[in-house]
Structure 1
Amino acid sequence: MGYAIGVDVGGTFTDVVLRDTSGAISVAKCLSTHYDPIAGILTGVTRVLAGRDPAQVTRVVHATTLATNAVLERKGVRVAFVTTQGFRAAVPLGRYARVEEDRYDLRFTPPPPPVAAGDCFEVVERISARGAVLTPLDPDSVRRAAAAITARGIGSAAVCLLHAYANPAHERRVAEILRETIPAVVTSSETWPELREYERATTTIMSAYIGPLMASYLSRLRERLAGIGIRAPVHVMESSGGVIPAELAARRAVATIESGPAAGVLAAAGAGFADAISFDMGGTTAKTCVVRGGRPEITHEFHVGGKGSFGGRRAGTGVPIKTPAIDLAEVGAGGGSVAWLDPAGALRVGPRSAGSSPGPACYGLGGAEPTVTDANLILGYLSSASIPLSPALADKALDRLASPLGVTREQAAYAVHEIVSASMASAVHVVTVQRGIDPRGFALVASGGAGPMHAARIAARFGITTVVVPAHCGVASAAGLLSGDLSTDRVQSHLDAPDPAALLTTLAEAAATDLAVPLGTPGVRVHRSVDVRFKGQSHDLTVDWSDDRAELESRFHRRYAEVYGITQRGEIELVSYRVRVSVPADPLADTPAANAPAPAPAHHPSAGTASTRTQEPGATRTAGTGARTAERGATRVTTRRAYFPECGGYADVPVHTRRTLATEPDATVEGPAVIEDPESTIVVPPGWAATLTPAQAVHLVRSGR
């Protein structure tokens, strides 16, 4: 076996994880290079290789926000929309909901549609919902549309004909004609053949919108990796938590829109708790997701760029995407989130972030606005040990808030810490309480560079008594990439198909072909499910497939009661059939080699790069102002002043590493305390106790009220 590399490009940091042939993990962390994301990737990969032979890299797995950013920033390619005669206005008219502050705006202006009205074209044809041809396709109408598209200088087309999910013949012929003059053509029957015309159309349009960008980006990434000697296959994390080949990701770019957040959830799912809440806080955003029975919650429709409350997204806002995705709530709250005063003088935090450039004030890169990172540095939760930070610049930034608020600098800093924690707690509320789930029986799994600093405070708000901080938590998304299965999904809408088993087999064979893996190969898994609804209702629920009709109905009735809280009986109908084909990836090796302290990144923001160094046993970490060092056997524990209201303000608290934590009696440390990792910091408030597991995870357990 060779080396496997996971790369996660975030809004502030680019994280790179390498697993070598012994299972040992090495990490590198550097500032993201927004002008050219690949530059930051190459910097991190070069650092993490640390002299190893790049030719021995056998797999590169990548999570990227390229697709999401292209949609949010409207930086995709210009797309023409081709549909059935009489339906060209469906997309320009759209489907908009007035939520939040827009409800009270008498001059509300809907956002622009994904395709302008002038770029929508019709062709003569019509197919029924059962797949019967009502009006034959007129090839001349397609050629006229192709000529008009070419005349407008458009090089990408999205074809979504009415009821093409039931019979794709017309779409395929339209695509053949369009491809004679148009370079990139995407059809709904290839992208996601599912009923509901508007959502199917927007999904196809977004695939055509970002597909050329994704194809170009992945091609350049492969070329530049080859330039440093890495010629291994490149895989991309998809929104549902699977990993697909780069070639498939280029063709089905819409499946990668939630690529980055999905990897962090996989890391939480592997933390050893069947029921867990994933909490991933980076430099720009915080994401939460529920894991039940070891499996993350999956949704088959989400909205990109939509509005909503506290990380939830409301239907009718943003662009609806019908493709499987891990069901996340996301808020603009991260280490780089800017604290500011609104016109009424109230303190707010986020959603705007200082990002990687100029970054928080304490980075010394030119940023002057107060951020969450600056506040945590003032509170003593962070130090300038592994990351050079400037307390003086943080003080100056927070003073800009403290003076207008009439409070001390420390009080302003703790207010920022509390407000951002409350914002992130609201996202946890969305995925648990708001959906009828009691979070008290779950473990909160914290990851990201900033997550473990806030996790215990957030858990306490919900009565959660266990917080888990996995090893390498600061680069959990990149590590999670290496545990993702090579997998892909297929779906087909067909109202009460005459032979469901045959249809599911056909879908499984198509999915296996996507992965270039024969269906009967040992280790290949196929998961089958079906969308079911009561006849007369318009919405359906997804349940696991069963050949036994009575068992299938029973599963649907149970799911219906779970979702809607009522028991109902009646005739059902099957709407859509789904398969997921997976090839297991090698999990992160749970061996002493894998769990030993790996080369740790010493990030220097002023240089914008990451470097690696080996932390020797018993090495003393440089502490912040006023810190002092205490010898404990073969290891050393530092102390420094940190702010805890329960202690009346600042107090001298022990500062551990995972290595020193292991030397404590019974491997337990009572809060208040701080545990520093090379890539993150864990804050243990009063009333909590920290223990180290054999897998090098830190468990925080609430020991008091």
Structure 2
Amino acid sequence: MGITIGVDVGGTFTDVVVRSTSGSISVAKCLSTHYDPIAGIVTGVTRALAGSDPAQVTRVVHATTLATNAVLERTGVRVAFVTTCGFRATIPLGRYARVEEDRYDLRFTPPPPPVSPGDCFEVTERVSARGEVLTPLDPDSVRRVAAEIAGRGIESVAVCFLHSYANPAHERQAAAILRESVKNVVVSSEVWPEIREYERATTTIVSAYVGPLMAAYLSRLRERLAGIGIHAPVHVMESGGGVLSAELAARRAVATIESGPAAGVLAAAGAGFADAISFDMGGTTAKTCVIRGGRPEITHEFHVGGKGSFGGRRAGTGVPIKTPAIDLAEVGAGGGSVAWLDPAGALRVGPRSAGSSPGPACYGLGGDEPTVTDANLVLGYLSSASIPLSPGLAGAALDRLAGPLGVSREEAAYAVHTIVSASMASAVHVVTVQRGIDPRGFALVAFGGAGPMHAARVAERFGIATVVVPPYCGVASAAGLLAGTLSADRVLTRLDAPDPESVFTALAADAADDLDVPLAAATVTRSVDARFRGQAHELTIPWTPDRATLESRFARRCEEVYGIAQRGEIELVSYRVRVTLPPPPMESAEEPVATTGGTPGSRRAYFPECGGRAEVPVHTRETLGGAGALCGPAIVEDPESAIVVPPGWTAALTGTRAVHLTRRSEP
């Protein structure tokens, strides 16, 4: 066994976790370098290795927002779209729902399509929904399109023919012709062969749009790591919580859209609670996800960008993507979120973030706007022990709010703290109450640089009595990457296939080829998309060949999702497999669980229940281990974060070095 490295690049910080050959953990947290993300990665990796031999590194696992940012910022490569004759306008027409403030806009203008109308092309061919060839492919029409695309200097093409999931022959023939003239050709039957033409087309387009960027980025990353002596394979976290090889991530870049958030959910799933809510608050955003039965909720369609309420994304907005992804709600609320006054004089927080440059005012890097981090520093929740922070600069920034609001600096800071906690609570509401789930029986697993400071206040809003803060909470997403295993997903739409076993076998073989491993060495998970006959949308359930059991599972899933119990004839629509390699063996480090070493400190911190500022104990995990149950108000400091224990809560260190916060019945 060698050294393994997890790297998570966020909007504000780049986190690196290194597991040594003995199982010990070292971490590094440095500001993200948006002009060149790899520069921040190399800095963090060098710092976290701390003199270890880089030649002993055997695996680097990376979570990246490159694909998401490329779509949101429209910085991908120019793409041509090729489809069946008569369907060229599918993408330019698009699909957009007028939600939120758009519904009142009399001059509403839909966002531009992912491919401009002039770059959409048709070729002569047609296949039925059953896979029958209605019109043979005309190779000359493909050659004319290829010449036009090459003449425009377009180097990436997305091919999506009508019903190619049922018969991919025409797409493959067209791709072979297009590749004679164009460098990068992506076909829908290879990316995600599933029904619904528009979603399949946008998924293919996004893969063609970001694939060349991902390939170039990962190539540069390998070169820069090699420059510091690391020649290990680079793996990339995919949206569903598995890990892809760098080569597969470049070919199927669309699978990495939710790469970064997925890693944190894996860390939360390993916190020891079967039913939990993952709560990840970093410098730029906060993300939540429900974990039931030890497994995170998975969706097979999500939207990049678009609009919605409180972290949810409304169907019909943004770009729909058909690929497995951990089901998240995300809000623009993080440590770097800027607090501001709207024209009516009301206090708002976010979604704009100070990011890593210039960052919050207290960083002393030129920022002067008040942020959540500045507010938490003024309140006494943070110290400058591990990261140099300037209380004076933070106070001056908060004074810009306090004056117009007519309140004290501390009251303004606590108002910022409260508003951002409410914003994050709305994201928890989306993944629980809004979906018919009572959150009171769940544990809230908090991590990220800012999450543990707000977790108890968020939990209070839902009657959640247990908050879990795992070890290395400030870099938990990077730590979660180390638990990721190589995996590949495959899907195929076949309405009530007469021989499901042969479909599953073929899909599993293709997925194993993606991983370049023998199928016998992997674990295969099977599932199907089912629906009541005559309905239009499906639910995914675990596969069993026993029809009665399958119908029972579907009925139970319907009741979970829709809250009503019903029975009826079902039909199977799509077949899915996930092929996963066993996780690499890891030594567990022998770390002290509880110690009385050191002496807890104290400082003045603001808690309204105490009438304002009060002298409160300040512990580390080491001093907390010998203190038993610590009653709030108190603060537990970590090198990369701080845990706020409000009045009415107790904190205790567990045998796994996690901190459990428990709400007392009476403050």
TM-score by length of 2: 0.99
Query: Offset of 1:704 from its aligned partner?
Result: 3.1
Given residue 150 of structure 1, which amino acid in structure 2 is its aligned partner?
Answer: A
**557-566 vs 287-296, which deviates more?**
557-566
Counterpart position of 1:674? 635
Classify 1:84/1:687 alpha carbon distance in 2 versus 1 (closer, same or farther; 3 Å): same
Matched position secondary structure for 1:35: coil
Mapped partners of 2:166, 2:289: distance in 1: 34
1:477-497 Cα shifts (integer Å, max 9, x gaps) = 000000012111100011111
Mapped partners of 2:45, 2:376: distance in 1: 29
1:533-560 Cα shifts (integer Å, max 9, x gaps) = 1111111111100011111111111111
Counterpart position of 1:504? 504
Q: Is the 8 A contact 2:22 2:588 kept in 1?
A: no
Query: Offset of 1:21 from its aligned partner?
Result: 1.1
Identify the match of residue 614 of structure 2 among 651, 675, 678: 651
Counterpart position of 1:15? 15
1:53 aligns with 2:53: yes
1:139-166 Cα shifts (integer Å, max 9, x gaps) = 0000011111112111100000000000
Matched position secondary structure for 1:61: strand
Classify 1:634/1:187 alpha carbon distance in 2 versus 1 (closer, same or farther; 3 Å): closer
1:459 aligns with 2:459: yes
5 Å matches for 1:81-160? 81-160=81-160
1:51-102 Cα shifts (integer Å, max 9, x gaps) = 1110000000000000000000000000000000000000100000001111
Q: Is the 8 A contact 1:448 1:475 kept in 2?
A: yes
Mapped partners of 1:584, 1:351: distance in 2: 40
Counterpart position of 1:698? 659
Given residue 662 of structure 2, which amino acid in structure 1 is its aligned partner?
Answer: V
Q: Which runs of 5+ in 1 are unaligned?
A: 598-616, 618-632
Matched position secondary structure for 2:599: strand
Query: Offset of 1:694 from its aligned partner?
Result: 1.1
Counterpart position of 1:565? 563
Given residue 264 of structure 1, which amino acid in structure 2 is its aligned partner?
Answer: G
Output the aligned Cα RMSD: 1.1
Mapped partners of 1:637, 1:530: distance in 2: 55
Given residue 616 of structure 2, which amino acid in structure 1 is its aligned partner?
Answer: V
Given residue 247 of structure 1, which amino acid in structure 2 is its aligned partner?
Answer: E
Counterpart position of 1:327? 327
Query: Offset of 1:589 from its aligned partner?
Result: 4.9
TM-score by length of 1: 0.93
Query: Offset of 1:387 from its aligned partner?
Result: 1.0
Counterpart position of 1:278? 278
Counterpart position of 1:537? 535
Q: Is the 8 A contact 2:593 2:654 kept in 1?
A: no
Matched position secondary structure for 2:520: coil
Mapped partners of 1:183, 1:219: distance in 2: 17
1:342-393 Cα shifts (integer Å, max 9, x gaps) = 0111000000000000000000000000000000000000011111111110
Q: Report percent identity of matched pairs.
A: 80
Matched position secondary structure for 2:600: strand
Matched position secondary structure for 1:317: coil
Counterpart position of 1:37? 37
Counterpart position of 1:622? none
1:552 aligns with 2:550: yes
Relative CO higher for 1 or 2, CA cutoff 8 Å, sep ≥ 6?
A: 1
Matched position secondary structure for 1:142: helix
Mapped partners of 1:650, 1:589: distance in 2: 45
Mapped partners of 2:563, 2:347: distance in 1: 39
1:217 aligns with 2:217: yes
Mapped partners of 2:539, 2:378: distance in 1: 49
Given residue 532 of structure 1, which amino acid in structure 2 is its aligned partner?
Answer: A
Q: Is the 8 A contact 1:279 1:287 kept in 2?
A: yes
Classify 1:588/1:10 alpha carbon distance in 2 versus 1 (closer, same or farther; 3 Å): farther
Q: Is the 8 A contact 1:123 1:138 kept in 2?
A: yes
Mapped partners of 2:169, 2:60: distance in 1: 37
Matched position secondary structure for 2:362: helix
Classify 1:323/1:177 alpha carbon distance in 2 versus 1 (closer, same or farther; 3 Å): same
Identify the match of residue 599 of structure 2 among 627, 630, 636: 636
5 Å matches for 1:240-639? 240-521=240-521, 524-586=522-584, 589-593=587-591, 634-639=597-602
Mapped partners of 1:365, 1:136: distance in 2: 63
Given residue 79 of structure 1, which amino acid in structure 2 is its aligned partner?
Answer: V
Mapped partners of 2:98, 2:14: distance in 1: 36
Q: Is the 8 A contact 2:24 2:588 kept in 1?
A: no
Counterpart position of 1:628? none
Q: Is the 8 A contact 1:590 1:695 kept in 2?
A: no
Counterpart position of 1:614? none
Show structure 1 runs of 4+ deviating over 3 A. 586-591
**493-502 vs 645-654, which deviates more?**
493-502
Query: Offset of 1:586 from its aligned partner?
Result: 3.7
Q: Is the 8 A contact 1:482 1:587 kept in 2?
A: no
Mapped partners of 1:557, 1:415: distance in 2: 46
Query: Offset of 1:590 from its aligned partner?
Result: 4.4
Mapped partners of 2:87, 2:455: distance in 1: 49
1:483-536 Cα shifts (integer Å, max 9, x gaps) = 012111100011111110110011011111111111112xx2111000011111
1:185-242 Cα shifts (integer Å, max 9, x gaps) = 0000010000000000000000000000000000110111111110001000000000
Given residue 242 of structure 2, which amino acid in structure 1 is its aligned partner?
Answer: G
